[in-house]
Amino acid sequence: MAHLLMVESWVGSMSRLLPRAIQEAGHTFTFLTRDLHHYLRTAPEGAAHPLLGARDVVTADTNDPESLVPYVERLHEVLGFDGVLTSCDYYLPTAALLAERLGLPAPDPEAVRNACRKDATRRVLEKAGVPGPRFAVHEDRAELGAAARDIGFPLVVKPVDLCAGMFVRRVDDDGQLAAAVRALGDFPVNARGQRRAPAVLLEELLDGPEVSVETVSHAGAVRVAGVTDKSIGGAPAFIETGHMFPAALSGAETEDVVRTAVDALTALGLTDGVVAHTEIKLTSAGPRVVEVNPRPAGNRITELVRRVTGVDLVAAFVDVSLGRAPDLRRTDTGLRSAAVGFLVPEATGTLAALDGSGLRGAPDVLEAELAEPGRQVRAAGSNNEYLGHVMVGDTEGAGARVRVEDLLASLRSGLVIR
HEC-encoded secondary structure of the chain: CCEEEEECCCCCCHHHHHHHHHHHCCCEEEEEECCCHHHHCCCCCCCCCHHHHCCEEEECCCCCHHHHHHHHHHHHHHHCCCEEECCCHHHHHHHHHHHHHCCCCCCCHHHHHHHHCHHHHHHHHHHHCCCCCCEEEECCHHHHHHHHHHHCCCEEEEECCCCCCCCCEEECCHHHHHHHHHHHHCCCECCCCCECCCCEEEEECCCCCEEEEEEEEECCEEEEEEEEEEEEECCCECEEEEEEECCCCCHHHHHHHHHHHHHHHHHHCCCCCEEEEEEEEEECCEEEEEEEECCCCCCCHHHHHHHHHCCCHHHHHHHHHCCCCCCCCCCCCCCCEEEEEECCCCCCEEEEECCCHHHCCCCCEEEEEECCCCCEECCCCCCCCCCEEEEEEECCCCCHHHHHHHHHHHHHHCCEEC
pLDDT at 44 over 70: no
Classify domain 133-204 by CATH architecture. 2-Layer Sandwich (3.30)
CATH topology of domain 334-417: Aldehyde Oxidoreductase; domain 3 (3.90.1170)
For residue 38, the model assigns a pLDDT of 87
What stretch(es) of the chain map to CATH 3.30.470.20? Answer: 208-333
pLDDT at 185 over 90: yes
For residue 43, the model assigns a pLDDT of 62
Residues 191-229 have pLDDT tens digits of 999 999 999 999 999 999 999 999 999 999 999 999 999
CATH classification code of 3-106: 3.40.50.20
Give the three-class secondary structure for 367. Answer: strand
Q: How far apart are the first and last CA of the chain?
A: 52
What stretch(es) of the chain map to CATH 3.30.1490.20? Answer: 133-204
Q: Select 208-333's CATH number: 1.10.10.10, 3.30.470.20, 3.40.50.1100, 3.40.50.300.
A: 3.30.470.20
Residues 106-142 have pLDDT tens digits of 999 999 999 999 999 999 999 999 999 999 999 999 9
pLDDT at 55 over 60: yes
What stretch(es) of the chain map to CATH 3.90.1170.30? Answer: 334-417
Please give the average per-residue pLDDT across 84-111, as a whole number: 97
pLDDT at 56 over 90: yes
For residue 391, the model assigns a pLDDT of 97
Residues 384-416 have pLDDT tens digits of 999 999 999 999 999 999 999 999 999 999 899
Q: Which of 38-52, 176-190, 277-291, 379-393 has the lowest mean pLDDT?
A: 38-52
What stretch(es) of the chain map to CATH 3.40.50.20? Answer: 3-106
